[in-house]
Chain A
């Protein structure tokens, strides 16, 4: 028999059809793709993310007595107790590599869902590929608001985005002003990819709406060898609040340069990212007493919900670190996806999508201070309330909103 392209295609189609019949008959394994930077400047984020996903995997695949989706019993009951297997892929913080790796995950590794990506710039391409192949994508820890506004049907985000985070910051400023604190002028300091740019645009808009004056708005190149010119400008402006949107490396350099050039702002209110990283506090924590960062996670919650502390201990055993804002969102990302696959009772992309649309997980069944997990028509969970955390005495305490706060804000920072 001559092997023609048509025969090969026919054969492949037949094999695929057989394969899917077999898969439906007994699915013992559900494969989910996890795409993060595992090499390059942000590789540590990927390493930490992997530990977080493995913690979530442990909870799903093994029997635990937690009030979380899928914690009790082993595997996914909706699929006959099938276990989840994760395939990790490295996008190296490069949107094009993210595109290629997602395609490989879907076509070669046959994943039925994808979770990622740390960098919002990479989430853009990863979610587009998922959309094309009709594979659901959970954006676990990306915070750029523009991500969910593209009308993608297979894009979901359980966590807050930067507009929600920034709104929380300005609500906090308003509350502080009411108490008599002088907050009139702001300095924005943001990196030049989608994360920093989106964050700054949101903050500019909110500032003008609520009557705050942005007296310097500095967009800098990420991973610059030196930030002294930038810090010099911040120092000259000397606003009431400095609002950085930076990843870890730039955050460390920013704080070191500020100390060198003798710039001490009254308050720093950071858009998370680098400012929620242990590495940054190891390096320059002594200069950051009283810094405020936004988050969607706080270990304080363990006082109200003891399972948070227990799960944190599980994660700490694997990673040597406490959960932070990023790793906690990654953990929840996998649980939300697994819960949907379980209810879909299928690994079919469209069925999982329908299950995600129907998701409604009460806040108490998460490790987050969220009201619940429920997606709007754009795939965004609007009930993921952010919190503001202040770094006091070597750890973060929740200071805002009032219903979640356990301490008053220290202002000025020191």
Chain B
């Protein structure tokens, strides 16, 4: 194997990893905020991809332009999901954990089923976009433009989220609610409003990822499944409840995947991810950057 091939693999892994990170950040945000795992996270990604696809087909809006629209729509969707479903699920007196799991898991299945019913199981694809199919070549290393832009969007989104959490009142309320949901009620912060905002933000982030991914990935009702699994591992690897950890975890997962594929047969590339994950869990059960 040549040095070029190794650098190429690592570069591809890094670009993919930043995207994994962007997908996982929303999941980590919601989990950190209220200890709820959103099992419909992959389906959020899937409807974002469909939304991008339909905006492209019917209104000829390029995915790059529709990304903010899709993120905004997903923000509303996430908040509504919280207000209509999750709010009641977390209130359950008996078996609260189970109720919470099955409510979002059920939501995932319903979303998948409805998508298949209305949009058919056919594979869709954004055929020609501004970025699609373009590649820049730097010193013999090929960097696909969609993934490159995706990586930049991921970095920008993460930076924005970081500033939002640390610099705004709402961000501070988010952080305070995360620390102690009971105490914030005493100072007059509406817990439900904060949680709804958290769900909205989490969904908007994965919406952004979905819009970018629609440029270079195929779209069908089950597309969320393979990415959601990686997102769960990423969150656990990076550290439960840590938004920064999820982002770093994504990058690690991307690089480990690329490295494993170089060393082992590619059908085993997921093995590397889980091996690293196991190692981290052994040494540091709360994950690399976890605080719990």
Contacts and interface: CB of A to CB of B under 8 A. Distances in A.
Given A219-B266, A226-B12, A229-B262, A283 B144 contact: no
A232 B12 contact: yes
B257 interface: yes
B217 A253 contact: yes
B258 interface: yes
Given A47-B120, A220-B266, A279-B123, A260 B230 contact: no
B166 interface: no
B291 interface: no
Interface stretch (A16-24, A36-44, A150-158): A36-44
Contact of B125 (A42, A252, A259): A252
Interface in A240-298: 248-249, 252-253, 256, 259-262, 277, 279-280, 282-284, 286-287
A46 B221 CA distance: 14
Contacts of B220: 41, 44, 249
A224 interface: yes
B133 A44 contact: no
Contact of A192 (B142, B261, B267): B267
A256 B135 contact: no
A27 interface: no
A69 B132 CA distance: 49
A44 B267 contact: no
A42 B221 CA distance: 10
A229 B226 contact: no
Given A228-B258, A229-B258, A262-B142, A236 B216 contact: no
Interface string A140-178: 000000000000000000000000000000000000000
A221 B5 contact: no
Nearest to A274: B123
Nearest to B144: A260
A341 to B, nearest CB: 31
B182 interface: no
B8 interface: yes
Contact of A228 (B12, B116, B127, B137): B12
Contacts of A261: 8, 12, 135, 142, 144
B256 to A, nearest CB: 11
Contacts of A280: 123
B125 A229 contact: no
Contacts of B221: 43
B119 to A, nearest CB: 11
Contact of A226 (B16, B218, B262, B265): B16
A218 B266 CA distance: 7
A406 B123 CA distance: 31
B38 to A, nearest CB: 19
B222 interface: yes
A236 B1 CA distance: 8
A47 B123 CA distance: 12
Nearest to B259: A229
Contacts of A226: 12, 16, 257
A230 B123 contact: no
A232 B8 contact: yes
Contact of A236 (B5, B16, B133, B147): B5
A279 B122 contact: yes
B286 interface: no
Given A221-B266, A261-B142, A39 B121 contact: yes
A252 B135 contact: no
B122 A221 contact: no
A202 interface: no
A249 B123 CA distance: 8
B218 A253 contact: yes
A259 B131 CA distance: 13
Contacts of A282: 125, 127
Contacts of A279: 122-125
Contacts of A96: none
A373 to B, nearest CB: 31
B135 A229 contact: no
B2 interface: yes
A225 interface: yes
A233 interface: yes
A192 B13 CA distance: 22
A223 interface: yes
A229 to B, nearest CB: 3
Nearest to A228: B12
B226 A225 contact: yes
A256 B16 contact: no
Contacts of A230: 261, 266
A249 B1 contact: no
Interface in B212-234: 216-218, 220-222, 226-227, 230
Given A232-B8, A283-B218, A43 B121 contact: yes
Given A253-B218, A283-B125, A229 B12 contact: yes
Contacts of A223: 226
B192 interface: no
**Best-buried of B122, B146, B227 by chain A (most CB within 10 Å):** B122
Interface of A: 39-44, 46-47, 192, 218-221, 223-226, 228-230, 232-233, 236, 248-249, 252-253, 256, 259-262, 277, 279-280, 282-284, 286-287
15 contacts: A44-B122, A44-B123, A219-B266, A223-B226, A224-B226, A228-B12, A229-B12, A229-B257, A230-B261, A232-B5, A232-B9, A260-B142, A260-B147, A261-B12, A283-B218
Interface of B: 1-2, 5, 8-9, 12-13, 16, 113, 116, 120-125, 127, 133, 135, 137, 142, 144, 146-147, 216-218, 220-222, 226-227, 230, 257-258, 261-262, 265-267, 269-270
Given A41-B222, A236-B5, A253-B217, 5 more contacts: A219-B266, A223-B226, A224-B269, A252-B123, A253-B218
